[in-house]
Amino acid sequence: MQDFFDALKLGEFFSIIRQTPLLESQRVDLELAGSRLAAEDVYSPEDLPGSHRSAMDGYAVLARDTFGAGESNPVYLEKIVDLAIEDVPEIELESGQCVGIVTGGTLPPGADSVVMVEHVHEMGQGTVEIRRPVAPWENVMLKGEDVGKGELILRQGQVITGPRTGLLAALGIGRVQVYKRPEVGIISTGDELVEINQDPGPGRIRDVNTHALVQMVREAGCPARTYGIVPDARDSLAKVLARAMEDNDIVLVSGGSSVGNRDFTIKAMSDLDGIEILAHGLALSPGKPTIFGRLNSKCIWGLPGQVTSAQVVMLVLVLPFLRHLQGDPDPFTWDEKFMIRAALSRNLASKYGRADYVRVKLESREQGVIAVPVTGKSGLLKTMLGADGLIRIPENCEGLSQGDQVMVRLI
């Protein structure tokens, strides 16, 4: 087997894939926008709330009328009306007066606070007894306090979460511009592969990657198509690749990405008219034989056939790339909200100049959270199933020592 061409450092590779243009955007109904990334900045068309509103059931008052009120020294006010939730009061409240109000009701002009109903006793004949003072604007949602008219409420590249959807709905924004979700085609190659409902027999294995990669893509919110198992034959793979590239924005090919006699992915990719092979071989473990190519606006990835290596490459490179295409401004920096700090349980060696991603299990011990490397041969599925996350040993490091603090990216 010949050596790879110069393996790219991850930093160089990220610079290459960041240059891939974002997908087109589309305007969709709000109920279809969840978990999508906004393709434009959105500004509030109005104040929210649109007027001063009561934050609870009670009585709208002038705060100064309640100063000094207490259980033994109540203040007496004249209730002039009970307001319904839909009422828009026009009469200005004067000193010595109050109005009954419900949560969300509009304050009458002149009122600047609300006394909770629990602290008021109605005496009859329109007189109410106030047993607790309130400060100006206490228990009041101010006009524009949630959002002011013209305020930026959704930034391009932000995920449209449930709370953000709620804000858009409150402002009457029923359609939003979002980036298209990339459609992903998945191909598994190898003479040794059989369908999962078959008995593999000697020297054969069931096709794991098709099913694992489809699930990972769909969990990322993207549609996925499968193209079955393709044998180790250049012409056969080139034909399926061409069809998959027609159908999808991204194509993932697992297996055949190395440079052995039966590794045809790079050759079949080269048969596609206009293809640019931008990387073949990364300074990455696992995942050194990863391939990345571009054909016009579409991209193709050659992933390791080894099942756990393919899954690590998906987590570290491919899934962030899918977010990049949808407008995520910084998908290749691991988000700290999905990370846990832990102490390493033992020494870990690494080859200088290569980024290592090590599977670890998290354990809670007296001294805190411990990251325990998951041992086992690299092809064993249980090394992924037994892992809670990944730690990264940088390219400029020859290893980590027991007790070192590491950031664990949860998986």
Residues 95 and 214 in one domain: no
- Please name the helix (run of DSSP H) or strand (run of DSSP E) that holds residue 13, with its range, or none: helix 10-18
Statement to judge: residues 262 and 297 lie in one domain: yes
Phi, psi of 61 (to 5 degrees): -140, 175
Name the domain boundary from 325, 346, 381: 325
Mean pLDDT of the chain: 93
Residues 280 and 221 in one domain: yes
Is the CB of residue 97 less than 8 Å from the CB of residue 78?
A: yes
CA distances to 46, 92, 164 from 29, in Å:
20, 41, 14
Gap between the Cα atoms of 214 and 40, Å rounded: 29
The Cα–Cα gap between 135 and 117 comes to: 16
* CA dihedral sign, ordered 74, 78, 84, 90: negative
Secondary structure (3-state) at 18: helix
Query: Can you give the residue range of the structural domain that contains 216?
Result: 10-24+181-325
The stretch 108-114 carries a mean pLDDT of 97
Q: Looking at residue 366, what is its pLDDT?
A: 86
The pair phi, psi for residue 68, each rounded to 5°, is 90, -5
pLDDT in tens, 6-40: 689 999 999 999 999 999 999 999 999 999 999 99
pLDDT of residue 1: 33
Amino acid at the residue 41 = D
Per the CB < 8 A criterion, the answer to whether 350 and 393 are in contact is yes
Tokens found for residue 282: 């990364």
Q: Give mean pLDDT, residues 310-320.
A: 95
Residue 3, in any domain of the structure: no
293 assigned to some structural domain: yes
Q: Does residue 38 share a domain with residue 151?
A: yes
The reported pLDDT for the residue numbered 2 is 39
CB of 82 within 8 A of CB of 117?
Answer: no
- Cα of first residue to Cα of last residue in the chain, in angstroms, is 33
Report how far residue 406's alpha carbon sits from residue 400's, in angstroms, rounded to the nearest whole number: 9
Three-state DSSP state, 167: helix
DSSP string, 211-222: HHHHHHHHHTT-
Query: How do residues 356-381 score in pLDDT, each as one tens digit?
Result: 999 999 999 988 999 999 987 767 78
pLDDT at 3: 43
Q: Do 175 and 34 lie in a common domain?
A: yes
Within a domain: 4:
no
How confident is the model at residue 261, as a pLDDT? 54
By the 8 A CB rule, do 407 and 334 touch?
yes
CB atoms within 10 A of CB 405: 11
CATH at residue 302: 3.40.980.10
Shared-domain flag, residues 82 and 167: no
Residues 347 and 254 both lie in one domain: no
Q: What pLDDT digit, counting tens, does each position of 235-268 carry?
A: 999 999 999 999 999 999 998 766 655 668 889 9
d(CA 167, CA 145): 13
Say what the pTM is: 0.86
Percent pLDDT > 70 in the chain is: 96
Cβ neighbour number for residue 142 with a 10 Å cutoff? 14
Residues 321 and 213 in one domain: yes
Q: Is the pLDDT of residue 400 over 80?
A: yes
Q: Which of 341, 334, 338 is nearest to 406 (CA)?
A: 341
More confident position, 334 or 199: 199
What is residue 380's predicted lDDT score, i.e. its pLDDT?
79
Q: Is the pLDDT of residue 5 over 90?
A: no
The answer to whether residues 199 and 345 belong to one domain is: no
Distances in whole angstroms, Cα of residue 223 to Cα of each of 9, 103, 151, 307, 318: 30, 44, 34, 21, 14
Say yes or no: 243 and 358 in one domain: no
Domains of the chain: total = 4
345/397 same-domain check:
yes
Q: In one letter, which amino acid is 173?
A: I
pLDDT at 279 over 80: yes
Helix (H) / strand (E) containing 313: helix 307-313
Please write the tens of the pLDDT for every residue from 144-194.
999 999 999 999 999 999 999 999 999 999 999 999 999 999 999 999 999
Is residue 2 domain-resident?
no
Contact status, residue 250 vs residue 297, Cβ threshold 8 Å: no
Distance CA 201, CA 199 (A): 6
What is the pLDDT at residue 37?
A: 96
* The pLDDT value given to residue 6: 67
Last residue of a domain, one of 141, 165, 198: 141
